[in-house]
Chains A and B, each alone.
Chain A
Amino acid sequence: MDNKFTFRIGGVHPADRKLSRDCAIEVLPLPEKVSVSMAQHLGAPAKPVVAPGDRVKTGQVIAEPAGFVSAFVHSPVTGTVTAVASKADLAGKMVMHIDIDVEKDEWAEGIDLTPELVTPLPDDKQLILDRIKAAGVVGLGGATFPTHIKLCPPPGKTAEYLIINGAECEPYLTSDYRMMLERPREILIGAALMQKVLGGPKCIAAVEDNKPEAVESLKDALHFLQLFSKDYENIEIRVLKKKYPQGGEKQLIDAVTGRQVKSMGLPIDAGAVVQNVATSFAVYEAVQKKKPLLTNVLSVTGDCLPPERQHNYLFRIGIPLRYIAQVAGGVPEEAVKIVSGGPMMGKAIANLDATTVKGSSSLLYLSAKQTLRREEGPCIRCGKCAQACPMGLEPFLLKKLAEVGDQQALEQNAVQDCLECGCCQYTCPAYLPLLDTIRIAKADVLNLIKSRPKN
């Protein structure tokens, strides 16, 4: 048990706090109105193809990709489009939304809504890719990068590893865990589909050792699927030693393959493609059920919630966060901050009227004691930030360089490699806002790098 895999550089061990782990996934009832964001993915926001007054069915395309890196968006409900306009997202940023009055839930034709498991994989790789693209599947591990692009390595690069990311290393979050318990077969079929598209790399589903039930669940599902078909021979379930940020692509690749992605490179440069378990499930639904991505699982959790008020919901996109909070029993008194995503990398919600997107993973209530920042002290040069940095950077140095604006030195000291995982700031005994400063410096340096002429 000692030589379990994990990434080699840095990392921290925040307490698990997976309070909603035993809450089975419940279907969230539909609200009266939904508002669907056009920016649910990394890249160009999708272009609306419906206008106010149009009637739409559940699963019907309402927006098209507006560029190479972009994705389809589908209507999460059946009803009438009332507005196509800019609205504030959860951080207050103005984004185009399509508002729909919900009438009923009638799905567009050709979508298989039966619960039967479809195990035979299509032979045609292009068909699989087309269905993934048409379903608007994006990476659900956080970055929401369009999946079909990630599954087409650039010429000259081949995937040797497909890593299914079940690390879920952020404290509190349990949506991936519940999916691994409740839909393990679908997840593995999705993995096999992606494996097929990529030309049959070794597929490893990686789960941290704080989720033994998920490991068992995936192993059982794998044995079951292997009885049916040879398509599942080259899939392995790998247990990783718990450490944050193991779910980061670069850390996971290091943990699973022992390879490192070179600076500013992509995982495929190290021969790896990483996909989240929820993405894998979405791929299954897209290909085997022709069902577009308009649902995902989200945890309503936090220390301020008693056990009976912890939830994991199967939600549709476009649902107001305020509505979810109400369904789950209201915002608890002690909550001073509500986070969408994990407590280490998630975004603090400024606007509860914002709506769910494909990548939503939580409504996390944090108490003042837990989350309010303490008064900064002087740096005591303990080096804990550097020991914690999973990229091997020196946050104390980067902060100083950022404060004097030395972009050349910032670049030399690899500020552009920063993951923004927050380990440095989490661990700093002087409560220094290391990442706040570094994040800004990183953006500046990245702009500088991008502005250079390419040879």
Chain B
Amino acid sequence: MEQLVVSPSPHLHARANTASIMRDVLIALSPAVVVSLVFYGWSELLLLGVCVLSCLLTEALIEKYLMKAPVTIADGSAAVTAVLLALNLPAGCPWWVAVIGSVFAIGVVKMTFGGLGQNIFNPAIAARVFLLVSFPSQMTAWARPASIASAWSLSPVDAVSGATPLGVVSEGLRAGLPLDQIFAENGFSYAQMLLVNLGGSAGELSAVALLAGFVYLLARKVIKPTTTLSIWLTILGVSGIFYLYNPSAYTDPVFNLLTGGVLLGSIFMATDYVTSPMSRTGCIIFGFGIGLQTMLIRYFGAYPEGMSFAILLMNAFVPLINRYCHQPKYGRA
């Protein structure tokens, strides 16, 4: 008598699984990682290594010794958190900050809620905000190497201290300078922001690299463009209104889109499956909330940027959004 397997339908499965999706996200992040390594050199490699090691280790240790459950670091989700966190730190930030951030991201934000799929907040974003309020000086010391050669030089070279474009603008406005003068003095240009923009988090370095990742994620159908586009349009819209109202006091829409981690956040962090809404309508509302809060913080808040706060706040609304936003059902219009 032959042995036949009997189980209910369906008898086939699409090839994509959790690990392959996480792998796709890592591939999508790779252009940004490569660019940051090229320009920030050893210090960036150190941060990346520290983040990956401590994230994986934290998850493995918690699963093994606290939860007494199978270790699931092979699914790649901790690695994604690690790379995102590394890209969210200022280049040259001390390695122990990265360790604390990683332990917080995985240990507190992810595992205390039950691990993958259970967390309310995006671990990397929550860790970044946690570090920003805990270690403000380390987290806003935007050191940058004088050149690519010095970034990869084995002997320590003095780093040039810098500031993010948003920080420069914020400071300039406080000093009572008009915007066009600030832009002119600092030599800001859109082309530079698109290609290589030194200063800021490692992941904000190159808009083009991030956009390449976005295209890859869309092509592989890992994410839908809804959330990301909703954020972009809201930021363009809100800053557009303010810019038209007073162009010398409020930064312009394109500048706001290209700076302060908007691309990194909108492509890779706000689209995190676990902490974003399920339905299309939900994603539009979620993106609108993020865009609006980002702009309000930038124009009226104490912090020059605001993307991470906005994502974190909107993460908290996701269960509520999911409760009220559903996709249209067949035959129930």
Residues of A within 8 A of B (CB): 9, 12, 14, 91, 171, 250, 254, 260-263, 265, 331, 336-339, 343-350, 352, 366, 370-374, 377-383, 386-387, 390-394, 396, 414, 417, 420-423, 425-431, 435-436, 439
Given A250-B331, A338-B4, A417-B330: A422 in contact with B10 (beta carbons within 8 A):
yes
Q: Is there contact, CB below 8 Å, between B278 and A429?
A: no
**B4 A391 Cβ-Cβ under 8 A:** no
Interface size on B, residues (CB 8 A): 39
Interface of B is mostly: loop
B191 adjacent to chain A (CB < 8 Å): no
- Give the residues in chain A near B279, CB-CB below 8 Å: 383, 386
A391 to B333, CA, bound (A): 12
How far, in whole Å, are A11 and B77 apart by their CA atoms in the complex? 27
Give the dominant DSSP class at A's interface.
loop
Interface membership of B68, Cβ < 8 A:
no
Query: When A345-B10, A392-B330, A429-B17 are in contact, do A337 and B5 touch as well, CB less than 8 Å?
Result: yes
- Among residues of A, the one whose C-beta sits closest to the C-beta of B117 is A378
Q: Which residues of A lie under 8 Å from residue B20 when comparing CB positions?
A: 429
Is there contact, CB below 8 Å, between A260 and B333? yes
The 9 A-B pairs at the shortest CB distance, nearest first, are namely: A422-B10, A392-B329, A383-B278, A382-B273, A378-B117, A337-B5, A348-B6, A260-B331, A343-B11
Interface flag for B220 (CB, 8 Å): no
Report if B116 contacts A (CB, 8 A): yes
* A349-B4, A377-B75, A383-B273 known; A9+B328 contact, CB < 8 A: yes
Complex formed: what's the CA distance from A133 to B188 in Å? Answer: 81
Residues of B within 8 A of A436 (CB): 8
Question: A346 to B11, Cβ gap below 8 A?
Answer: yes
- Identify 16 residue pairs between A and B in the complex whose beta-carbon atoms are under 8 Å apart, listed by A's number: A9-B327, A261-B331, A263-B331, A337-B5, A348-B5, A374-B13, A381-B274, A382-B21, A386-B279, A391-B329, A391-B330, A391-B331, A422-B9, A425-B13, A429-B20, A439-B8
Measured CA separation A77–B296 after assembly (Å): 81
| In the complex, B332 has a CB within 8 A of chain A | yes
**Nearest-CB distance from A88 to chain B (Å)?**
13
Are the CB atoms of A381 and B16 closer together than 8 Å?
Answer: no
Does B184 sit at the interface, judged by CB under 8 A? no
Judge whether B49 is part of the interface by a CB distance below 8 angstroms.
Answer: no
Contact with A along B1-27 (1 / 0, CB 8 A): 011111111111110111011000000
Docked-complex contact B10 and A344, CB < 8 angstroms = yes
Best-buried of B17, B116, B330 by chain A (most CB within 10 Å): B330
When chains A and B are docked, how far (Å) is the Cα of A236 from the Cα of B198?
63
Q: What would 19 more interface pairs be, CB under 8 Å, given A346-B9, A349-B6, A379-B117?
A: A263-B332, A343-B11, A345-B10, A348-B6, A350-B4, A366-B12, A370-B11, A378-B117, A380-B21, A390-B330, A391-B329, A391-B331, A393-B329, A417-B331, A417-B332, A423-B10, A435-B8, A435-B9, A436-B8
- B115 at interface (Cβ–Cβ under 8 A)? yes
- A90–B13 CA distance with the chains assembled, in angstroms: 23
| Minimum CB–CB distance for B6 against chain A, Å | 4
Separation in Å of the B281 CB from the closest CB of chain A? Answer: 12
Determine the chain A residues whose CB is within 8 A of the CB of B64 once the complex forms. none
- B13 near A378: Cβ-Cβ < 8 Å: no
Residue of B whose beta carbon sits closest to that of A426: B10
Known contacts A171-B12, A344-B11, A348-B6; decide if A380 and B330 are in contact (CB<8 Å).
Answer: no
The answer to whether B5 touches A372 (Cβ under 8 A) is: yes
A250 to B329, CA, bound (A): 12
Determine the distance from Cα of A350 to Cα of B4 in the docked complex, in whole angstroms: 7
